[in-house]
Structure 1
Amino acid sequence: MRIRSAGVLVGITATLIVSQLVGSAFAEPKPDPTAHARELLVFYGKTNQWLATCMNGKGLEFHPGLAKADVIDAYSSVPESEVPEKIRTQIASTPDDPNEPLMATMSPQAQAAWSGAVNDCSAQLEEEKSGGAEGRARVAQAQRAAAASPEVQAAARTYVACMGGQGFTVDSDPFLVPQHVAEAEHGSSAAEIALEDRYDAAWRTCVQPYQQAFDKKLYG
């Protein structure tokens, strides 16, 4: 099984951000998108550090460095012309997934156990930060409203078309993996690994406009 852990962490962080921002002054539209982006990067870093502490407590290694998607996502609301040059350099030099080299050394069974531990730590963090059932309900409501907005729906159609151009028929929800790709994640043949790698590369490219539209609608 091959784990796209960076994608998992992005989803986790998004949920935590919404739980902290919904109903707060921080959730209001920002007059300075760049300052907001810096705040998001700090939050991403703290989240990853907490996950590393939790994983270490389970006797497992976890690299808390930012993933490329973290940096891109944080600056998704900043106009392209206003993205600082040092951030462009950071995006270019940041790995897709800082834990990929670690996972490459693991057997499929070890990868499954490691992924399960990440999910467990993430659930603990989400429970701690979300404010319980009421907080999770606010998060879910905000996410549904953002996903249903015309801007995000248009971005979803763009995502579907982009993935179709790469040979994949997908759902308009970017985080639903096609069945044959999901099955390949549990395989180990060269063809299954190649399929998953091809899907992963296409997804990382095609999901970016959707993620940017969703975040802009959700966070302001």
Structure 2
Amino acid sequence: MRTITVRTITVRTITVPTITVPTITVRTATTATTERVGEVLHLWALAPATVGACCVAADRGRARVPEFAAAALMLVAMADVGTGARLIAPVLWALLLVVGAMGLAALRGARRPRPAAGERMPHPSRAMTVMTALGLVVMAALMITMGTVAPSSVADAGGGHGHGGLGAVGGGLGMVVALTTVVAAGYVAVSAVAAVRSTLRLDRVQYVSMAAATALMAAATAA
């Protein structure tokens, strides 16, 4: 008889630890370029805003302290957001701009006597007061839009970029950006008409400056 030897084979189970690989978000060159364009437009908007403030300061023939305060407030808000310093949140800047518009309207809303024939008006025209106050409100709307679509974490998660704009957001936020752009375009158009109808050179330059600053800020928001 043959003896059959049976060998026992022991199978051991080896547990391999799970390795977590971090997700790396790669930002395309197109996205980086779009963000850069928005930043440049923000900085360019400071130039016409500065010109407008200088026009108010140069108009020594009329008492324009409230208008200069409004122009300075708008310029500082644009500089804070445009340079990326963000010392104050855009929403707070928007609140300050709206308060400034209300204060300007209240100060200039009272009836003023008409100047005598050939005499220069001691205060800015009502049209200038209205356009300055509206400019503060439109800029406040742009600030709110920037604060809504700017967070880079949300934009990156959705595949967009961190600056904002129609391409970076969808749904409701995209509608907000589009609506703000339309409002800004309307203000630019009205400012252009006011500049054509104005008879004073400083007023004309200020209308054009406000329109240019608003247009550039709106383009930067939608970029």
**TM more than 0.5:** no
Give the structure with higher Rg (CA): 2
| Greater RCO (CA < 8 Å, at least 6 residues apart) | 1
* Larger relative helix fraction: 1
TM-score, reference length from structure 2: 0.30
TM-score, reference length from structure 1: 0.30
